[in-house]
């Protein structure tokens, strides 16, 4: 009996048109837990690091965690892993909503998509039975159109993950969308799906998995909901969603503005959580079994986009499509967010790449001839439009193509556009961006919680950062601990926001009651560390080393011009000092930045 898991995967070979179920090796469950952990193990074993991300030998791996679809608070998540077309290394996106639980109810813990179909297809999975069906009528449709058509075609209730024109056209930061507005957003997993001509996965069914000790599991799940109910953070999330942090980040001088030329946005009151509530909010939206509902169900009420509705913008999207582009018109930002969701592209990379183009135009690197007569200006709300092929590549490749110093304005790490927290105003964030396994990312370590918004993470023993303006080598251990713990969250299927509110012991109890294990907190953390090292090893084989753990030149050379962090950069010496300390805590080789033999042996990776 395999508690917590459905116990099987669906392997889909699009080149051969074959679908087949297979068992998950039992010993992998405890070592890699599930979700992104298990998916990364499959990637490591089956996808050579020199694989063309948009070629048939790449594999697109959907995986739920053992808590996905249980009654535990906010355990709705699933992960998608493949080699990334945006970064050329390990790619990973994670989403909530209800697709993860639906995949399990359809009979499978995960799906591995391999090969390539000549014609558009979608995968239908229903109560353990799976088949590929033609999707010619869906190709070219937006995400909501695709979902609506598939729901009309279905005989009962279905839950769908699909791509829009972004994925079909191989935009390197294309997303996979579920529940229309929830995104497997980062690293271009939608482009991998598009390269395989797979338009959607449609799930239905009521299959169940066993919980080892259902009574105790329910009691702990209930206790967690009671604990959450007492938390102030829950109140903030419910009231403002993730936009509750806008004012705090701006007040610290780390709110990226005009493509990171500034860290303070004068018009913050036009775009903060309060403004969003007043202008566009209709309702909070919750993922499966989440008592928080941090999602924003919104509608544009006036102006030229009046009547459009959907979800978002979340904090990151509001900044990248807003202040980063110099835009303070919340209707325009919200509309841009809807378009990203409909076309299936990542809002962070899209906004950041547009902001990059605006600055290149401003500096004369990009000209009117190159934009087919389009004038690109910071602050122009109509700029939320398709800027063409150049931007589909993301800021790194676009900068390489443009040359003339454009790299200075491309705000990415390892090719992935940075999130909306300027590390010049919180040095340790800079370290977390360069060590994140999927490229410049905030939720790998989530160090922005303790630095920018005064929110410690209870899931690690100590996440305190004394003075974010100061780079303290001792505090790099917080990044290590958070990366490990939150990697375990992506594996079990839990929402990382819960890591702020609940200690690791709460999750270990849940896992043990769900799976019948006797895991302790240190084994839980070590599983996260094992996955983290496995992925670093994959990236190493794909050509990464210490020299690639580097920030965009602007953050190291251009001082912030205003706000509390005025005059600050993260100079190279400071970054290298933090990397030394971090590698030491990780027991990675100081010269190469790669896991030491001893560490790999300790984690059973050699």
Residues in the site for ligand SF4, rule: CB under 6 A? 74, 76, 96, 286-287, 290, 292-295, 495, 497
**Nearest in space to 267 (alpha carbons), one of 340, 344, 348, 328:** 328
Q: Could you tell me how many helices (H) and strands (E) the chain has, helices first?
A: 25, 17
**Nearest in space to 376 (alpha carbons), one of 365, 423, 511:** 365
In angstroms, rounded to a whole number, what is the distance separating the alpha carbons of residues 479 and 95?
23
Token digits of residue 13? 């070979």
Smallest gap from residue 291 Cβ to ligand SF4 (A): 8
In angstroms, rounded to a whole number, what is the distance separating the alpha carbons of residues 335 and 351?
13
What is the bridge-based pairing of β-strands 8-13 and 110-114?
parallel
What is the bridge-based pairing of β-strands 121-126 and 182-184?
unpaired
Smallest gap from residue 571 Cβ to ligand SF4 (A): 36
Q: Which is nearer to ligand SF4, 496 or 530 (CB)?
A: 496
In degrees to the nearest 10, what's the CA dihedral of 347, 348, 354, 359? 160
Residue 476: φ, ψ to 5° = -65, -20
Q: Which is nearer to ligand SF4, 294 or 486 (CB)?
A: 294
Q: Which is nearer to ligand SF4, 242 or 451 (CB)?
A: 242
In degrees to the nearest 10, what's the CA dihedral of 539, 541, 546, 550? -40
Smallest gap from residue 579 Cβ to ligand SF4 (A): 31
**Nearest in space to 419 (alpha carbons), one of 487, 349, 359:** 349
Q: Which is nearer to ligand SF4, 98 or 257 (CB)?
A: 98
Smallest gap from residue 328 Cβ to ligand SF4 (A): 26
Token digits of residue 61? 């791996």
Q: Which is nearer to ligand SF4, 287 or 428 (CB)?
A: 287
Q: Which is nearer to ligand SF4, 76 or 87 (CB)?
A: 76
Q: Which is nearer to ligand SF4, 72 or 162 (CB)?
A: 72
Q: Cβ contacts of residue 494 below 8 Å, gap of 6+?
A: 65, 67, 72, 74, 75, 77, 507
**Sign, CA torsion 265/271/272/274:** positive
Smallest gap from residue 583 Cβ to ligand SF4 (A): 32
Smallest gap from residue 502 Cβ to ligand SF4 (A): 12
Q: Which is nearer to ligand SF4, 21 or 293 (CB)?
A: 293
Q: Which is nearer to ligand SF4, 71 or 149 (CB)?
A: 71
Smallest gap from residue 179 Cβ to ligand SF4 (A): 11
In angstroms, rounded to a whole number, what is the distance separating the alpha carbons of residues 305 and 336?
10
Smallest gap from residue 68 Cβ to ligand SF4 (A): 11
In angstroms, rounded to a whole number, what is the distance separating the alpha carbons of residues 441 and 220?
32
What is the bridge-based pairing of β-strands 159-162 and 198-204?
antiparallel
Q: Which is nearer to ligand SF4, 292 or 383 (CB)?
A: 292
Smallest gap from residue 319 Cβ to ligand SF4 (A): 17
**Nearest in space to 55 (alpha carbons), one of 83, 27, 24, 92:** 83
One DSSP character per residue, 394-422 reads: HHHHHHHHH-TTGGGG--EETTEEP-S--
184: helix, coil or strand?
strand
Q: Which is nearer to ligand SF4, 227 or 293 (CB)?
A: 293
Token digits of residue 450? 């303790």
Smallest gap from residue 440 Cβ to ligand SF4 (A): 21
Smallest gap from residue 221 Cβ to ligand SF4 (A): 14
213, burial (CB in 10 Å: exposed 0-12, middle 13-18, buried 19+): middle
Q: Which is nearer to ligand SF4, 240 or 497 (CB)?
A: 497
In angstroms, rounded to a whole number, what is the distance separating the alpha carbons of residues 260 and 560?
9
Smallest gap from residue 294 Cβ to ligand SF4 (A): 3
Q: Cβ contacts of residue 126 below 8 Å, gap of 6+?
A: 106, 203, 204, 205
Q: Which is nearer to ligand SF4, 101 or 263 (CB)?
A: 101
In angstroms, rounded to a whole number, what is the distance separating the alpha carbons of residues 475 and 210?
41
Smallest gap from residue 292 Cβ to ligand SF4 (A): 4
**Cα 273–Cα 274–Cα 275 angle in degrees, nearest 5:** 90
Peptide bond into 123 cis (omega under 30): no
Smallest gap from residue 287 Cβ to ligand SF4 (A): 3
Q: Which is nearer to ligand SF4, 68 or 533 (CB)?
A: 68
Q: Cβ contacts of residue 560 below 8 Å, gap of 6+?
A: 253, 262, 263, 422, 424, 425, 566, 567, 568, 569
């Amino acid at each position: 009996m395999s508690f917590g898991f459905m116990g099987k995967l669906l392997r889909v070979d699009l080149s051969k048109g074959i679908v087949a179920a297979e068992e998950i090796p039992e010993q992998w469950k405890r070592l890699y837990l599930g979700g992104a952990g298990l998916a990364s193990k499959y990637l490591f074993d089956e996808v050579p690091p020199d694989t063309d991300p948009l070629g048939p030998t790449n594999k697109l791996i959907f995986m739920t965690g053992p808590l996905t679809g249980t009654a535990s608070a906010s355990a709705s998540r699933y992960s998608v892993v493949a080699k990334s077309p945006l970064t050329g290394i390990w790619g990973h996106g994670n989403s909530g909503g209800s697709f993860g639980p639906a995949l399990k109810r359809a009979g499978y813990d995960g799906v591995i998509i391999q090969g390539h179909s000549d014609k558009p297809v979608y995968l239908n999975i229903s109560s353990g039975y799976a088949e590929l069906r033609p999707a010619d009528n869906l190709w070219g449709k937006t995400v909501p159109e695709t979902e609506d058509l598939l729901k009309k075609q279905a005989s009962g209730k279905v839950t769908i993950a699909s791509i829009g024109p972004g994925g079909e056209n191989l935009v390197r930061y294309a997303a996979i969308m579920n529940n229309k507005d929830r995104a497997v957003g980062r690293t271009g997993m939608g482009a991998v799906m598009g390269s395989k001509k797979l338009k959607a996965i449609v799930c239905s069914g009521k299959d169940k998995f066993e919980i080892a000790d259902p009574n105790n599991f329910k009691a702990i799940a209930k206790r967690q909901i009671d604990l959450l109910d007492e938390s102030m953070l829950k109140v903030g999330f419910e009231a403002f969603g993730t936009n509750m942090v806008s004012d705090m980040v701006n007040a610290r001088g780390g709110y990226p503005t005009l493509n990171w030329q500034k860290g303070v946005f004068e018009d913050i009151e036009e775009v903060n959580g309060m403004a969003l509530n007043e202008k566009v909010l209709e309702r909070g939206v919750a993922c499966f079994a989440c008592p928080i509902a941090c999602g924003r169900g919104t509608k544009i009420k006036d102006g030229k986009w009046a009547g459009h509705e959907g979800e978002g913008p979340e904090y990151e999207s509001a900044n990248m499509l807003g202040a980063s582009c110099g835009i303070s018109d919340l209707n325009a930002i919200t509309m841009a967010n809807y378009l990203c969701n409909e076309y299936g592209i990542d809002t962070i990379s899209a906004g950041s790449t547009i902001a990059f183009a605006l600055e290149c135009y401003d500096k004369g690197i990009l000209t009117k001839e190159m934009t087919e007569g389009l004038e690109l200006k910071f602050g122009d709300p109509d700029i939320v439009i398709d800027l063409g092929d150049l931007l589909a590549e993301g800021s790194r490749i676009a900068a390489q193509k443009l040359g003339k110093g454009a790299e200075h304005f491309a705000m990415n790490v390892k090719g992935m556009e940075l999130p909306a927290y300027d590390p010049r105003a919180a040095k340790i964030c800079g370290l977390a961006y360069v060590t994140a396994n999927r490229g410049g990312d905030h939720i790998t370590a989530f160090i922005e919680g303790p630095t920018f918004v005064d929110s410690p993470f209870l899931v690690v023993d100590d996440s305190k950062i004394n003075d974010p303006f100061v780079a303290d080598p001792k505090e790099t251990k917080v990044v290590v601990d958070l990366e490990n713990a939150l990697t375990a969250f992506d594996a079990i299927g839990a929402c990382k926001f819960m890591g702020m509110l609940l200690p690791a012991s709460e999750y270990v109890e849940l896992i043990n009651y769900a799976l019948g294990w006797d895991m302790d907190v240190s084994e839980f953390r070590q599983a996260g560390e094992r996955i983290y090292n496995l992925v670093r090893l994959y990236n190493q084989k794909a050509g990464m080393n210490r020299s690639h753990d580097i920030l965009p030149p602007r953050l190291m050379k251009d001082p912030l011009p205003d706000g509390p962090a005025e005059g600050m950069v993260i100079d190279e010496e400071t970054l290298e000092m933090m990397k030394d300390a971090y590698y030491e805590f990780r027991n990675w080789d100081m010269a190469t930045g790669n896991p030491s033999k001893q560490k790999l042996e300790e984690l059973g990776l050699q």
